[in-house]
Amino acid sequence: MRESAKRVRPVKNTGRGQTVEQIKKSSNKILAEIQKRLRRKNKQLPLSELTIGQWMEKWAEETPDKEAIVYSDRDLRFTYKQFNQRIDTMAKGLIGIGVTRGTHVGIWATNVPDWLTIMYACSKIGAVSVTVNTNYQQNELEYLCKNADLHTLCVIDRDRDTDYLSMVYQMLPELRTCPRGELKSERFPCLKNVVYIGQEKFRGMYNTQELMILGENSGDAMLNALKEKTNCLDVVNMQYTSGTTGFPKGVMLTHYNITNNGFLTGEHMRFTSEDKLCCCVPLFHCFGIVLATMNVLTHGCTQVMVERFDPLVVLASIHKERCTSVYGVPTMYIAMLNHPMFDMFNLRSLRVGIMAGALCPIELMREVEEKMYMRVTSVYGLTEASPGMTHTRFEQTFEERCTTVGYEFEHTEVKIIDPETGHFCKPGEVGEFCNRGYNTMKGYYNNPEATAEAIDKDGWLHSGDLGVLDEDGNFKVTGRIKDMIIRGGENIYPREIEEFLYKLPGVKDVQVAGIPSKKYGEQVAAYIIPAEGANLSEEIVKDFCFGKISRFKIPKYVLFVDEYPLTGSGKIQKFKLKDIGLKMLAAQGIKIE
């Protein structure tokens, strides 16, 4: 004991005689050393080869009576044992209508209770769940169904003022006359079934209650055979993300990709089986299906679901269920903090959360930490990286957690690469975020050319985002190479909107760029050069968009210009459009929201 005491005596420091700045420096040094040790320790975190179904079965056996899924506002609860049984029954029902290994099953729904049942059921039999954005309109739905070679589409009736069933019948008029399971469409030759998620009956469609009855009356032989064939490197989930070409691409993600990304995210948040995560982000996003679902699954904790984001329902769910964590994009936190009934709820059970999907204002993060009693972290990544590439950690300082995106996930390499030379950048040099590791997607579905563009010959996934590595080993996002707008967590690619607006009579040329927004991070602005003699107005442009493209893609601002800023070689300088737009809006007396 004496020898130990002697060894520590030389570094003993009471702080007497030091300035505040010296004490601060000393504390930061100690904290930095702790972080280095934790990073070394975390490198040892193992990757799992369990499939999604095997993870579910593990907890159904080990903690059968623990609550797995809770819908607090409906008082609907499933233990791990109950939910696993429901999944198996649904899986047998899907097998009964022709779903099997490699089959593509679309899920077009808000976070309804059977969204996860269908996804987990697909994962057990080797089928691929294809997530469909709830904001999609007719053109977008039809493109995905054809491009993804959907075999079965599972759908709810509507979301807000969008009638999903009408759109499905418009796409598949054959449904009105053909027997269920015998759909034959010339336009969509792969599509054989439409399943209504609910108990109501609609012409030509199965419903989920019928699939459950079918599953209850089926044997286990085929289910068990398909389970045996399923392995962690199988594609289990496909999500559509737009590209600079303007055409969405199906990102193929494996069990290995998303379960491990979810597991490591949970480890960074110090999750245990006692945690309860309130999931109010949409499941069709990687944020919802990986960060808010796979980290719960891999830690055997409880997922408290919210069908559609409503600040009051979220606050009430956290209060009632004593949730320890909640995830969301900045606009969600703003809505909760500003709700008139916010002070009525006890949120002291909260411990940690994630704010991601858009730029996270420092003052907002500070307010969330103070008023919601939790430590906020942020994840940076993209769908193609399953999605997490970097993550600020629980133990990092507030300044690091709100001014950086942390450091790389374990078992991955994240580098800043000079986009011109391909050389690795030194700390402080700006370049492109690139990722290599277990989390890199399998590729884009039926699109080897786009896959080769995204993943180079050395296996580096190119993000299209610009960033820098600081001296402490944390990454910062500084901009984008690709012309992407992020509005409230939704990725919007200008080319897609531009190609749509070219169809409007009277549009000679159009460019789309982002305008800064306090509420959403960015808003969409369309800069239109009208054709000679055209009678265009902001109202005409927006009316043309309504019902044809997703709400979040409809330009908030429509600006009419005579020309675009050009480079010496005649290329449009998109980065200058933002400032031009801000000046035009200010001149018109329009306040930026």
Asked if residue 156 lies in contact with residue 197, where contact means CB atoms within 8 angstroms, the answer is yes
Q: Which two tokens stand for residue 549?
A: 């493209």
Q: Which two tokens stand for residue 481?
A: 């190479």
The whole-model pTM stands at 0.81
Q: Does the pLDDT at position 249 exceed 90? A: yes
Q: What's the rounded mean pLDDT across residues 278-286?
A: 95
Q: What's the rounded mean pLDDT across residues 337-365?
A: 90
Q: Measured between alpha carbons, how far is residue 324 from residues 96, 305, 356 in Å?
A: 40, 13, 18
CA distance 68 to 80: 5
Average pLDDT, the chain: 90
CA distance 70 to 322: 12
CA distance 593 to 583: 15
459-513 pLDDT, tens per residue? 999 998 889 999 999 999 887 776 778 888 787 878 788 878 988 999 988 889 9
CA distance 311 to 342: 9
Quote the pLDDT of residue 11: 35
* 39-48, 55-64, 138-147, 291-300, range with the lowest pLDDT: 39-48
Question: What DSSP string runs through 110-161?
Answer: SS-HHHHHHHHHHHHTT-EEEE--TT--HHHHHHHHHHTT-SEEEE-SEETT
Asked if residue 578 lies in contact with residue 513, where contact means CB atoms within 8 angstroms, the answer is yes
DSSP-H helix ranges across 404-471? 448-454
Domains in the chain, please, with CATH? 54-65+81-230 (3.40.50.980), 250-480 (3.40.50.12780), 490-587 (3.30.300.30)
Q: Which two tokens stand for residue 273?
A: 């089986």
Q: What angle do CA 213, 219, 223 make, to 5 degrees?
A: 95
* More confident position, 253 or 570: 253
Residues 6+ apart with CB under 8 A from 345: 315, 316, 318, 319
Strand-pairing partners, residue 407, are: 391
Residues 6+ apart with CB under 8 A from 215: 88, 89, 90, 91, 92, 93, 94, 95, 96
Question: Residue 95: which pLDDT band, with cuts at 50, 70 and 90?
Answer: very high
Quote the pLDDT of residue 266: 97
Q: Which two tokens stand for residue 384?
A: 């193609």
Q: Which two tokens stand for residue 291?
A: 């960060």
CA distance 150 to 327: 30
Question: Residue 1: which pLDDT band, with cuts at 50, 70 and 90?
Answer: very low
3-class DSSP string for 427-439: CCCCEEEEEEECC
Quote the pLDDT of residue 33: 56
Q: Which two tokens stand for residue 172?
A: 């598949």
111-136 pLDDT, tens per residue? 999 999 999 999 999 999 999 999 89
The phi-psi region of residue 537 (left if phi > 0; otherwise alpha if psi is between -120 and 50; otherwise beta) is beta
Q: Does the pLDDT at position 23 exceed 50? A: no
Distance of CA 357 to the CA centre of its chain: 7
Asked if residue 68 lies in contact with residue 80, where contact means CB atoms within 8 angstroms, the answer is yes
557-585 pLDDT, tens per residue? 999 999 888 644 445 777 788 889 999 99
Asked if residue 422 lies in contact with residue 397, where contact means CB atoms within 8 angstroms, the answer is no
